[in-house]
Amino acid sequence: MGLYRGVFSEKREREYSDRELFTRYAHRIVPFKKSVTLISLFILISTVADIIIPLIVGFAVDVFEKPDRDFSIVLGAGVVYLILSAAIWVMFSLRRREIGNFMPYFLENLRMDIFDKLQEQDMSFYDKHLSGSLNSRVSNDALDFGNTTILLADTMGNLLVSALTFAILFWLNPTLALITLAGVPFLFVLMFSLRKLARIVSRAYRKSIGNINNAMVESIEGIQVCKSYGQEATVSEQFHETNKEYFGTAYRLTAVTHVWRAILETITALILVTIVYLGGQLVLQGVSTTAIILMYILYIQRFFRPIMILATFFPQLSAGMAAYERILDILDSKPNVKQNPVLRGVDALEGEIVFENVDFSYRNDGEWVFKGFSLKIAKGEKLAVVGHTGAGKSSLVNLLARFYEFQGGSIKIDGIDIRDLKLDSYRRNLGMVQQDVFLFSGTIEENIRYGRRDASEEDLWKAIRSVHAEELIEYLHDGIQTQVGERGGGLSVGQKQLISFARALLTDPKILILDEATSSVDAYTEAIIQEALEVLLENRTSIIIAHRLSTILNADRIIVMEKGQIIEEGTHEALLAQGGKYGQLYKQYYEHQSLDWVPITG
């Protein structure tokens, strides 16, 4: 599938029975029982009014047939007819207004539940789910499931109409009522035959919407790469294929929803013609009156109208329940990062870190990143971590930040297992700056305050000056209130890096993690950051994953990692003297960054 091949790989983790779906749906609407009760009451009143109208019409016709016609009675029947029609309209308006009051709150609660659940997940969850698909569940799936609530309310009214109407049909003429009823099983067989097919098609349709969102997100986020390689036409062609798949699933869903309607209408028309013929015979024989047969015909239309609506009910319900399945797949997801039942909050940490016999695999498939990994970092120590790509450097800090769960061993801070610490209070003691800086839409001030919104103006500007970001802010037209745009658009890599440093430092973390944080900045910006780091790293435990020699030289200790193991450790001078792996890395990556480096020529 080209660039979008990952779009189609998403799998649902669990299946839900109809009973479970409806049970959980019922629990979800319990908080809105007042609105549901009012909607049901309005449906009941309008249904009763709709049922009475044919009786009024029949009564008026019966008066016309009598020799001594009393037009005042007919006029009265007309007034009652208008009152009932007005009542139906009023009840319909009240029902729609109540639905309008109920639905926004229902959707708000549902979307907040989904969003909050997404916030609980660890990074392994996001490794398995594409962002476009998750966005589809919060927006499209929630809306489609919310529409199912309206569908069920309307269906309740329709079923009530059919039940009451049949009772009146039976009262008017039992024989004709049984003849009418004989065609109903065929209708329900056709409708129920759609049920399984509709559910399958609806699931495919929901997935195709997620695919569209995934493709859009990926194409927009990768637009610079796309343009760099001149692949606009290729991306458009691939999106065209994704869009065609969406069109195909939407077409199949529409076909399943309406394909049987012509058959159902034919069956009901045959039944109606039969009843008209038999009713006419009864009138000619004097067994029945014209008024009764007219009422019967009017009631037959009311009897079959809800059944016709039910023909589209199951496909639409299946679409809503398919959306609810995708929502429940999120709501029922449990983070892999495990917490002990009794958690400890922590105000401030000292910063001693101990990895002890840690086993870790991203996919729990036996492909170990760490196996029996151990490392001790003293309080206040500045530790530099070097190694080739895939050595385990980023995995080390990912585990420390509890982004992923490790399968064996322990990680302790100040002698306390991090699994015993509340995540929010623990992470407040961590400051993390990564190479790929993410800034949120908003002002520079809002981004710097992100981890500590209640910081004073003094603390805010102290953090800014510590990383020498005041020059950046003074240069911008709106200063600290400058809007940075989505993902920090409009700022250079170095400028975004300075803002991320200020953001991390404003929280005054006891443990500072720099994950290749200066590898993408220019020499001038790096010089500014290096000057600030001498102060910033003071009295903090620091883990520095760096591609810059200047960052490594200031470390108290350097560890060299390879395939998830520490193969060398020591100071810069000591490791160079060993002539081992670090010496090779130094010559390959760092030596040319030295001020006294002279390239070998000749």
Overall average pLDDT of the 473-489 stretch = 76
Does 588 score more than 90 pLDDT?
no
CA distances from 56 to 49, 61, 76, 275, 290 (A): 11, 9, 10, 21, 14
Alpha-carbon distances, residue 499 vs 194, 322, 528, 530, 595 (angstroms): 57, 43, 13, 15, 28
Task: Report if residue 224 sits inside a domain.
Answer: yes
Mean pLDDT of the chain, nearest integer: 76
Coil, strand or helix at 65: helix
Share of the chain above pLDDT 90, in %: 3
What integer pLDDT is reported at residue 448 of this predicted model?
85
CB 260 within 8 A of CB 314: no
Q: What residue numbers bound the domain in which 219 lies?
A: 2-331
Q: Give the pLDDT confidence score for residue 428 in this predicted structure.
A: 82
What does the alpha-carbon distance between residue 304 and residue 183 come to, in Å, rounded to a whole number? 10
The reported pTM is: 0.69
Q: What is the mean pLDDT of residues 564-573?
A: 88
How far is 588 from 582, CA to CA, in rounded Å? Answer: 10
Specify the length of the chain in residues: 602
CA dihedral 345, 348, 354, 360 (to 10 degrees): 50
Query: Both tokens of residue 193?
Result: 């035959």
pLDDT digits 0-9 by tens, 353-395: 999 999 988 876 668 888 999 999 999 888 989 888 888 888 8
Are 440 and 446 contacting, i.e. CB atoms less than 8 angstroms apart?
yes
| Contact between residue 433 and residue 513 where contact means Cβ atoms under 8 Å apart | yes
Question: Which 3 state secondary structure label does DSSP give 374?
Answer: strand
pLDDT tens digits, 315-327: 667 777 777 887 8
Mean pLDDT to the nearest integer, 255-283: 73
Total count of domains within the chain = 1
Residue 599 has pLDDT above 80, yes or no: no
70 falls in which pLDDT band (50, 70, 90)?
low
Element (H, E) at 501: helix 493-506
Q: Give me the pLDDT at residue 341, please.
A: 67
Looking at the domain assignment, is residue 549 inside a domain? Answer: no
- Contacts of residue 155, defined as CB under 8 A and 6 or more positions apart, other chains included, come to 309, 310, 313
**Cβ count near 323 (within 10 Å):** 26
Closest CA to 572 of 396, 386, 435, 373: 386
Domain with residue 131: its CATH number is: 1.20.1560.10
Q: 435 in a domain, yes or no?
A: no
Confirm whether 317 is domain-assigned: yes
- The pLDDT of 442-447, averaged and rounded, is 83
Flag whether 413 is in a domain: no
pLDDT at 597 exceeding the cut of 70:
no
pLDDT at 376: 93
Question: Which positions ≥6 away from 134 have C-beta within 8 Å?
Answer: 118, 330
Residue 535 Cα to chain centre, angstroms: 42
Q: What is the pLDDT of residues 234-262, one digit of tens each?
A: 777 777 777 777 777 777 777 766 666 66
Q: Which of 67-81, 88-102, 134-148, 478-492 has the highest mean pLDDT?
A: 88-102
In a domain, 72, yes or no: yes
Q: What is the mean pLDDT of residues 283-291?
A: 72
The answer to whether position 509 is within a domain reads no
pLDDT at 356: 93
Classified as helix, coil or strand, 97 is helix
pLDDT reported for residue 354: 93
Query: Helix, strand or coil for residue 312?
Result: helix
Is the Cα dihedral 522, 466, 532, 375 positive or negative? Answer: negative
Per-residue H/E/C for 428-444:
CCEEEEECCCCCCCCEH
187-212 mean pLDDT: 70
Is residue 46 domain-resident?
yes
User: Please, which pLDDT band fits residue 504 given cuts at 50, 70 and 90?
Assistant: confident
